[in-house]
Amino acid sequence: MNENLFASFIAPTILGLPATVLIILFPPLLIPTSKYLINNRLITTQQWLIKLTSKQMMTMHNTKGRTWSLMLVSLIIFIATTNLLGLLPHSFTPTTQLSMNLAMAIPLWAGAVIMGFRSKIKNALAHFLPQGTPTPLIPMLVIIETISLLIQPMALAVRLTANITAGHLLMHLIGSATLAMSTINLPSTLIIFTILILLTILEIAVALIQAYVFTLLVSLYLHDNT
């Protein structure tokens, strides 16, 4: 069991070629589109959820910030579908890879920060030095605020990676324990299996919440710089 504990986090290959790109491109295929004037219930529910999420995240933004609405909605849909597909047996979750999460976090964070420096550079620089700071503490506070700004994309990526990875590991351990106990003690197996079902429900909620948190924090960074 210990040897295969992290096997599900290894990037899969097809004929020796990495299949991560194909896996990343697969979730958008699950989002249905309609060419008809009257949509069915699935597409209507999908559009309602997209409008609700977009409205909740874009309410605090000005006109310039709302130009990111399509990107943020696409981001939350992509992360949510990727996390949910990763809960299927024998599947691979790209969001457990820190490199991929950094590839999403760094460009979005950098775009928001660059926009802030271009549109209102005085307010952007004012964040490095809070008002009323004593003169001896100015150099230290500037360094601290600079470090806190630079670690924002790392915090985004690590938060998503850690939460998804921890949930997958816990499900793997409890699933292995259920399989091992099935031949030893049936009542204990039923109890552990019940815990596994409850944990799976929790992980579905975590998959959706983490997608929302990641996108919401990007939206907050954008709001601070527009």
In a domain, 43, yes or no: yes
pLDDT for position 12 = 63
pLDDT for position 11 = 62
Domains held by the chain: number: 1
Average pLDDT on 63-90 reads 83
- pLDDT tens track for 177-189: 888 887 787 888 8
- pLDDT tens track for 122-134: 777 777 776 777 7
In a domain, 1, yes or no: no
Residue 1 pLDDT level (bands cut at 50, 70, 90): very low
Report how far residue 152's alpha carbon sits from residue 110's, in angstroms, rounded to the nearest whole number. Answer: 10
Average pLDDT on 195-224 reads 88
In a domain, 2, yes or no: no
Residue 10 confidence (pLDDT) above 70? no
In a domain, 116, yes or no: yes
pLDDT for position 167 = 85
**DSSP element (H, E) containing 13:** strand 13-14
How much is the pTM? 0.77
Q: Which domain holds residue 166?
A: 7-225
pLDDT for position 7 = 58
pLDDT for position 71 = 86
In a domain, 155, yes or no: yes
Strand partners for 18? 13
Identify which has the larger pLDDT, 28 or 76. 76
Are 211 and 79 within 8 A, CB to CB?
yes
Instruction: Give the mean pLDDT of the chain.
Output: 80
In a domain, 168, yes or no: yes
Nearest alpha carbon to residue 133 among 122, 145, 149: 145
In a domain, 64, yes or no: yes
In a domain, 119, yes or no: yes
